Chains A and B, each alone.
Chain A
Amino acid sequence: MSRLILKNLTKKFDNVAAVNNISLDVEEGEFVTLLGPSGCGKTTTLRTIAGFYQPDEGEIWFNDKLMNNIPPAKRNTAMCFQSYALFPHMNVWDNIAFGLKMRKIPQAEQKKRVADALEMMSLTGMEKRMPSQLSGGQQQRVALARAIVTQPDILLFDEPLSNLDAKLRVQVRVEIKEMQKRLGITSIYVTHDQDEALAISDRIVVMNQGHIEQVGDPQSIYLHPATSFVAGFIGLANILSGIIVAREENRVQIELPFGRLWAFAGDMHARVGDTVKFSFRPENVTRYREGSPNKIEGTILHAIFMGDTIDLFLDVKGTRLRAHAESTATFKSGDTAQFSIDETAFQFLE
């Protein structure tokens, strides 16, 4: 187990910075997810930690050991690849035992550790099968077994679930989380799937264009996005900007093209006359009931039934907003209806 520290890490390809001056401190045993769209630098960061890329600037520390010049084979990390990267010419047993053989672990201990890993991943009885004879889920479990059997200091996951179907993805991510908690191995997990990141992580690092946008636990990332990128990337969000026209204690009134809205300001220090950028979630825009705050009227452009809710696309005097309605509601395109926006739902963005 290791603490991982990245200090001002930069990695360039052809003079373009894929990772641009990022710093991160991951505690021993912590599960941290690097989340972002493709090309944001999350996989480059992971591969630099593994040693496949040499950083152009900055430092990588495992505990108090500088790792910059240590080759991948000597870093004692274990990586789970998106493609699983099982050795196609070796059976399940030999795949799992590969890292132990490389470390010259005595035969008897190899046998014990591989057998334990097989049992942990419910693979007992499949030792002799070749990777091509396994389903995607089974291959993923072999890849996990192969990674944990070496007792790595840091586990690295590169979008390990993206080749699985939706149901299996949810099941395996629970298994990964349970396994990581039980073994207590520091883990860095890369994904572009926000649901996966929210479900599995102790902390999420949201990345965009090579830099870190926000670091926080899943709840704070979702409920209190710091930037419009985070608000837009994690879940659905209505992102707007307007001018503060009034301030009373901890509330502000914001002027928008379709009217004025009251919002709790929290620790936001903007004054009257300032332009502010803010977001609120579709689930905070609900059908108006007598006495509810921030009443707006909108025309329904699309109403999409999602099972547990109805996803609404509204036109409010020329401004497009997303809203939610209870799944029993009956809406048609072209209907007009009144909605209310929760005053506490406003997140002011940088």
Chain B
Amino acid sequence: MERKEISVLHYLLLLPGVGFIVLFIGSSIFITITQSFGLFSITGKSQFTMENWKAIFHDKESLDSILFSLKMGLLSSIGTLLFAFPVALFLRKGGAGKRFLASLIKIPLFIPALVAAFLIINLISYHGIVNEALIALHIIKKPLRMLNDKFGWGVVAIQVWKNIPFVLLILSSSLASIRDDTVDAARNLGAGTFAVLFRIYVPLAMPGILVSMILMFIKAFGDFAITSVAGPTYPPSIALRMRNTATLFQEWDKAAVLGVIIILTTLFITWLYSRLAEFVTGSK
């Protein structure tokens, strides 16, 4: 009898968290999906239709937005990993300046994305510090367009800078769980630096790498703030395009389509990264 009471109380612990997700997030996902098919419409007649989806896939700006955000998501997640992994490896082993570096690298954690974007603008704008320095050093004659550039490198740079500490936290705990003995055993059996890196560190840190890549992708793919400040004039990111569609053009149902596309793309990339991780580590 007593056990049963404890077990009911036990499940009540789930209520705030899971209840919130189911009630607000679950229902809004449901509404978004149904709205994309014309149901529960808040701007017109509610009836099932594929018109919104057709319209989005025939709209060049929406398609460009999707591709642009996809590009930003992939490049930012890969870029952050490439920058953060070596630092995480250094911090695992330690060395002179480890504590200083660990604190330094956490600074971006305390700076909101929008503020970060403005800070980086000072560096990479047309007449920013980097361009002026390169000209002063006679490395370039004319300033480089790094901000609001057509490709979006400015956005990638800010995303990477902003998210390194975040990814570093995940990677560090992943690498910390690798025993020194395991690494020593590999070295003892003939593994050089690269073999240790790609056969021991990378596969054993793969869960952390995977989580960082997925979270980074989700952040950069759905980004609004950084692209609106540092992104190209065209195309807008998918989140910007969604905002414009909903609030400027009052086409909520089409905005819902873009919302569903963000969700589906995120799910697809998560699946893709997991497959990739299995391929790299050679295990399921």
Q: Encode B183-207 as 1/0 by CB contact (under 8 A) with A.
A: 0111111111001000110011000
Please tell me if the beta carbons of A89 and B281 are within 8 angstroms of each other in the complex. Answer: yes
A146 to B189, CA, bound (A): 9
B-binding segment of A97-105, A162-170, A225-233, A311-319:
A97-105
| Least CB separation from A99: chain B residue | B189
Number of A-B contacts (CB under 8 A): 65
Give the contacts of A246-266 with B (CB-CB under 8 A).
none
- In which size bucket is the chain A interface? 20 to 34
- State how many angstroms separate the Cβ of A113 from the closest Cβ of chain B: 13
Please tell me if the beta carbons of A81 and B191 are within 8 angstroms of each other in the complex. Answer: no
User: Which of A51, A78, A89 is the one whose CB lies under 8 Å from B189?
Assistant: A78
Contacts of B200 in A (CB 8 A): 87
Give the contacts of B241-257 with A (CB-CB under 8 A).
none
Q: Does B3 contact A (CB under 8 A)?
A: no
Please tell me if the beta carbons of A99 and B179 are within 8 angstroms of each other in the complex. Answer: no
A89 to B202, CA, bound (A): 11
A71 to B196, CA, bound (A): 13
Contacts of B195 in A (CB 8 A): 102
Contacts of A299 in B (CB 8 A): none
- Chain B interfacial residues counted at CB < 8 A: 19
| Least CB separation from A156: chain B residue | B188
A102 to B189, CA, bound (A): 7
A150 to B182, CA, bound (A): 17
Please tell me if the beta carbons of A85 and B203 are within 8 angstroms of each other in the complex. Answer: no
Q: Does A209 contact B (CB under 8 A)?
A: no
Q: Encode A41-73 as 1/0 by CB contact (under 8 A) with B.
A: 000000000111000000000000000000111
Please tell me if the beta carbons of A87 and B186 are within 8 angstroms of each other in the complex. Answer: yes
Contacts of A73 in B (CB 8 A): 187-192
Please tell me if the beta carbons of A78 and B188 are within 8 angstroms of each other in the complex. Answer: yes
- State how many angstroms separate the Cβ of A87 from the closest Cβ of chain B: 6
Please tell me if the beta carbons of A102 and B182 are within 8 angstroms of each other in the complex. Answer: no
Q: Does B103 contact A (CB under 8 A)?
A: no
- In this complex, the member of A78, A81, A103 whose beta carbon has the largest number of chain B beta carbons within 10 angstroms is A81
Please tell me if the beta carbons of A88 and B204 are within 8 angstroms of each other in the complex. Answer: yes
Q: Encode B145-159 as 1/0 by CB contact (under 8 A) with A.
A: 000000000000000
- State how many angstroms separate the Cβ of B185 from the closest Cβ of chain A: 4
Contacts of B179 in A (CB 8 A): 83, 85
Q: Encode B163-178 as 1/0 by CB contact (under 8 A) with A.
A: 0000000000000000
User: Which of B182, B187, B188 is the one whose CB lies under 8 Å from A87?
Assistant: B182
- In this complex, the member of B184, B200, B204 whose beta carbon has the largest number of chain A beta carbons within 10 angstroms is B184
Please tell me if the beta carbons of A79 and B283 are within 8 angstroms of each other in the complex. Answer: no
A75 to B190, CA, bound (A): 8
| Least CB separation from A74: chain B residue | B190
- State how many angstroms separate the Cβ of A153 from the closest Cβ of chain B: 12
Given A73-B191, A150-B190, does the pair A81, B184 have CB atoms closer than 8 Å? yes
Q: Encode A183-208 as 1/0 by CB contact (under 8 A) with B.
A: 00000000000000000000000000
Please tell me if the beta carbons of B187 and A81 are within 8 angstroms of each other in the complex. Answer: no
Contacts of A52 in B (CB 8 A): 184, 187-188
Please tell me if the beta carbons of B184 and A103 are within 8 angstroms of each other in the complex. Answer: no
| Least CB separation from A77: chain B residue | B188
- State how many angstroms separate the Cβ of A150 from the closest Cβ of chain B: 6
Please tell me if the beta carbons of A79 and B185 are within 8 angstroms of each other in the complex. Answer: yes
Q: A50-B184, A79-B184 are in contact. List 16 more A-B contacts (CB 8 A).
A: A50-B188, A52-B184, A71-B187, A72-B184, A73-B190, A73-B191, A79-B188, A82-B181, A83-B181, A85-B185, A87-B182, A87-B186, A88-B204, A89-B204, A102-B195, A146-B185
Can you offer 21 A-B residue contacts whose CB atoms are under 8 A?
A: A50-B188, A51-B187, A71-B192, A72-B187, A73-B191, A73-B192, A77-B188, A78-B189, A81-B181, A81-B184, A81-B185, A85-B179, A87-B182, A89-B204, A89-B281, A89-B283, A98-B191, A99-B189, A99-B190, A150-B189, A150-B190
